[in-house]
Amino acid sequence: MQAFIANIQGFTAIGIGIIIGLGAIGACIGIGLMGGKYIEACARQPELMNPLQTKMFLLAGLIDAAFLIGVGVAMLFAFANPLLSKLAAG
């Protein structure tokens, strides 16, 4: 039984690392690509800088929010692991 609990905790830790790591990589790549395209668009049409800036910051917040939701799910598994609570109850 102890080995089973240790396996659950170990695989949960690996999953948490994957969730946070891949989420951070994806958010960084997404914001980097979007920022680069924003600079290209501003260089091409400077009169559209202000409307594009508003949209860029809105989308950057949404991309970052998706990463933070992933961090929240990872923290759920880290501190209130539903897999271990089911095991302890039954």
Q: Which residues are catalytic?
A: 64
Contact between residue 71 and residue 20 where contact means Cβ atoms under 8 Å apart? yes
Report which residue type is found at 23: G
Residues with Cβ within 8 Å of 27's Cβ and at least 6 positions away in sequence, in order, are: 63, 64, 66, 67
